[in-house]
Structure 1
Amino acid sequence: MNERIVPPGEGRAADPNVGSNLRKLRKAKGLSLQRLADESGVSVGMISQVERGLANPSMRLLTSLRRALNISMQELFGEDPVAEPTTTDPNFVRRKANRPVIDLGTLHKELLTPTDQRHLQLMILRLEPGGESGGKALSYPAEKGGLVLSGRVILSVDGEVAELAGGDSFVFDSVSPHFLRNTSDAPAEVLWIIGAVQFDRHL
């Protein structure tokens, strides 16, 4: 697996909450760094740097760790899956005020999916100028789609490139190498959807 540590000159600060969540969940599963590395295909050094907040992991890398730990997207975002609901809303609703967020520097991911949803994930991606998401194919079959809410982004799928603006939408097979990048000088927001094709039960 290719791994990327953000160079200091890029000005992207790692979110310490991501690392602390991963460390807590790994220890709760009784896994050593080496065992998690073996299960996920991510090196011990990279896992250690992520846990200490020294590296900005891609979402593909976080997904590999999440699957190896057998945890949900909600747990990855630091949400307690057994926490008592704070409202009387049905379980298919997530209020704006209760959206967990992962801050990866120039990329922010805000989870929209309610807690009990495991086969469809909805997020809002906020890409600062120079921010990007993706870069490699996922290791499991799924479809991705989305809608550009504001700004302009570049979407590359399997070598084909499209420039997208507010109101433009897209769907593609995530087994193809892909990335989303903001090459403009203004922030961009994208509704990001991941739909299972053959997900295993723990997603």
Structure 2
Amino acid sequence: MDRKSTVHAEAGEDSVGATLRLLRKQKGMSLKALAEASGVSVGMISQVERGLANPSVRLLTSLRRALNVSFQELFTKPASETEHAGDPDFVRRADNRPIIDLGDLQKELLTPTDKPHLQLMIIHIDPGAESGGWALSYPAEKGGLVISGEVLLSVDGKNVALLPGDSFAFDGMLPHSLSNVSSETASVLWIIGAVQFDRHL
């Protein structure tokens, strides 16, 4: 799949903003109610829904948790709109992977359908970039495999350099981050086994 065929927050019915608005209405939540539940301002939510703001993963995480939906639901078109509409729900084709483009980091979603306890993705990290610039932590078991490049994984203050073929697993509640310390784009298979009440990409 061409990694440049990415998903962006932009005006239009196919944007993450339009999907967010649809999911909010399906949940029967007003902008104010979603703002109170997520900690994101009404103005920012409105801008995202209208395609006027490019939301960060942290902001989308706050919104999807408040709505109790997964990233797949924010970025995946209904099966009826794809050429693989007849596929069973346990399959995702290589040419039908949503990609969240964060500039110097892209998340290629692999999980076939919404799985509350398991999320698969390939994270592509540009040289010198890191996973958001902050240490992420929430209830989940995490693991992965370095596909290409060299990355620095930090877990609970411990840093380790990983090369292609190296794998890892840790408690997602521990503060952690991932950065690319090589001169080429690094790709990492990322696996998240979330606890029941946390549905994450």
TM-score computed with the length of structure 2 as normaliser: 0.78
Label 1:63 to 1:81 Cα distance change in 2 as closer, same or farther (>3 A).
Answer: farther
| Residue in 1 that maps onto 2:158 | 160
State yes or no: 1:57 paired with 2:56.
Answer: yes
State yes or no: 1:199 paired with 2:196.
Answer: yes
Contact between 2:9 and 2:48, CA under 8 Å: does it hold in 1?
no
Alignment partner for residue 76 of structure 2, among 71, 75, 78? 78
| Residue in 1 that maps onto 2:4 | none
Label 1:116 to 1:65 Cα distance change in 2 as closer, same or farther (>3 A).
Answer: closer
| Residue in 1 that maps onto 2:178 | 180
Deviations 1:15-55 (A, max 9, x none): 43334432343344343333212112334454345444534
* Matched letter for residue 78 of structure 2: D
* Matched letter for residue 199 of structure 1: Q
**SS where residue 23 of structure 1 aligns?**
helix
Contact between 1:50 and 1:57, CA under 8 Å: does it hold in 2?
no
| Residue in 1 that maps onto 2:104 | 106
Contact between 1:143 and 1:173, CA under 8 Å: does it hold in 2?
yes
| Residue in 2 that maps onto 1:189 | 187
Contact between 2:143 and 2:192, CA under 8 Å: does it hold in 1?
yes
| Residue in 2 that maps onto 1:8 | none
Q: CA deviation at 1:188?
A: 0.6
* Superposed counterparts of 1:115-194, under 5 Å: 115-133=113-131, 135-139=134-138, 141-194=139-192
Q: Indicate the larger mover: 45-54 or 100-109.
A: 45-54
| Residue in 1 that maps onto 2:35 | 37
| Long gaps (5+) in structure 1 | 1-13
**SS where residue 131 of structure 2 aligns?**
strand
* Matched letter for residue 175 of structure 2: P
Instruction: Please provide the CA RMSD for this pair.
Output: 2.7
Q: Percent identity?
A: 59
Label 1:55 to 1:86 Cα distance change in 2 as closer, same or farther (>3 A).
Answer: closer
* Superposed counterparts of 1:16-31, under 5 Å: 16=10, 17-31=15-29
Label 1:151 to 1:39 Cα distance change in 2 as closer, same or farther (>3 A).
Answer: same
Distance across 1 between alignment mates of 2:24 and 2:173: 27
* Matched letter for residue 78 of structure 1: T
TM-score computed with the length of structure 1 as normaliser: 0.77
